Amino acid sequence: MAEIRKVMVIGAGQMGSGIAQVAAEAGLQVVLNDIQDEFIQRGLAVIRKNLQRAVDKGRMGQEEMAAVLGRIETSCQLDAGSDADIAIEAATENMDIKLGIFRKLDELMKGDAILASNTSSLPITEIAAVTRRPEQVIGMHFMNPVPVMKLVEVIRGLATSDAVYTAVHELAEKMGKTAVEVNDFPGFVSNRVLLPMINEAIYCVYEGVATPEAIDEVMKLGMNHPMGPLTLADFIGLDTCLAIMEVLYEGFRDSKYRPCPLLRKYVKAGWLGKKSGRGFYVYNN
């Protein structure tokens, strides 16, 4: 396949802005898209803050920062990136939303463009099936925060071609990431292993086994985890944790993936973690 030189990122939130940043830092032209300019500007502000921090620490010069920002254009219209070599969707973890985006991308993007999803758990094969190019659809699951975390899970759908997989693997490495090949199963590897652990920690709170602080302390000091599972859940977003557990539960129909009732209660209460100011801990946002 032709070398990937231009990337469109759909979604300027925490994940999308991070993907746009690392793509631009790798020398790629980037179109950052979202449904409202307000969301795009918020994402750009995060990118500027990250780059300025790198400048302040001497890892990047002011001219390089300006060059990186200069490689990012923005638009609320999907067709602004119709000439991109790859589109990376980083929208809300909702299948209906993602399917709608992929239908539009299939119509708008040039014929040889790759369509990738940053989904953390949803099936790539199902997403690919709504397009006329399922062999060019692939999962590209970045970790949060994108500029810091090295892993990208590259997920083949049932029809994904070898050429597309190779191109995306090389793109991830160009972005400074380590690409790991994963097959298309609910939760892939990362969240199939991580989220049941988080869910079990929530059950420990629910059943009164220990406080959130105690559970996090056990996992940090006893298992050498850099962050406790309940703190991590708050950072991921409890709504996202619940959505992934639902995908696992629906996908495998195994009771071990049943979301904890306390997780459902917190999400219904609007206690979504750090982004809402309250989850298992209280945050001053």
Residues 168 and 37 both lie in one domain: yes
Same domain for 225 and 138, yes or no, is no
* Cα gap 128→181, rounded to integer Å: 18
Domain holding 76: CATH number? 3.40.50.720
Spot the catalytic one: 50, 117, 153, 169.
Answer: 153
111 to 8, 48, 91, 103: CA distances (angstroms): 15, 33, 22, 14
What confidence tens digit (pLDDT) does each residue in 134-179 have?
Answer: 999 999 999 989 999 999 999 999 999 999 999 999 999 999 999 9
Give me the DSSP letters along 204-254: HHHTTSS-HHHHHHHHHHHH--SS-HHHHHHHH-HHHHHHHHHHHHHHH--
Whether residue 285 is predicted with pLDDT greater than 90 in this model: the reply is no
Residue 15 located in a structural domain = yes
The binding site comprises 11-16, 34, 93, 98, 120, 144, 275
Q: Is residue 229 part of a domain?
A: yes
Neighbouring-strand partners of residue 29: 6
Statement to judge: residues 134 and 179 lie in one domain: yes
**Domain boundary, last residue among 183, 207, 230:** 183
Last residue of a domain, one of 137, 162, 183: 183
Average pLDDT over residues 272-280: 96
How far apart CA 192 and CA 196 sit, in angstroms, is: 7
Instruction: Indicate if 120 belongs to the active site.
Output: yes
Catalytic residue among 33, 50, 141, 276: 141
Average pLDDT over every residue of 10-27: 97
Tokens of 184: 């298309």
Is 191 marked active-site? yes
- In the chain, the number of structural domains is 2
Work out the angle at residue 126's Cα, subtended by the Cα atoms of residues 263 and 184, and round it to the nearest 5 degrees. 75
How confident is the model at residue 284, as a pLDDT? 85
Q: Give residue for tokens 């969301």.
A: 39
Query: Annotated binding site for NAD(+), which residues?
Result: 11-16, 34, 93, 98, 120, 144, 275
Does residue 1 fall inside a structural domain? no
Q: Is 183 a catalytic residue?
A: no
Give residue 261's domain range: 191-276
pLDDT at residue 1 is higher than 80: no
Co-location of 157 and 46 in the same domain:
yes
Question: Is the pLDDT reported for residue 2 higher than 90?
Answer: no
User: Does residue 7 register a pLDDT over 70?
Assistant: yes
CATH, residue 226: 1.10.1040.10
Residue 179 one-letter amino acid: A
What is the mean pLDDT of the segment spanning 242-261?
96
Instruction: Give the domain-ending residue among 183, 213, 233.
Output: 183
DSSP-derived 3-state class of residue 152:
strand
Q: Are residues 28 and 146 in the same domain?
A: yes
Residues 208 and 175 in one domain: no
- Of 120, 121, 199, 276, the active-site residue reads 120
**pLDDT digits 0-9 by tens, 79-118:** 999 999 999 999 988 999 999 999 999 999 999 999 999 9
Verify whether residue 141 is a known catalytic residue.
yes
142 and 16 in a common domain: yes
Contact call for residues 71 and 28 (beta carbons, < 8 A):
yes
Same domain, 234 and 129: no
Q: What is the mean pLDDT of the chain?
A: 96
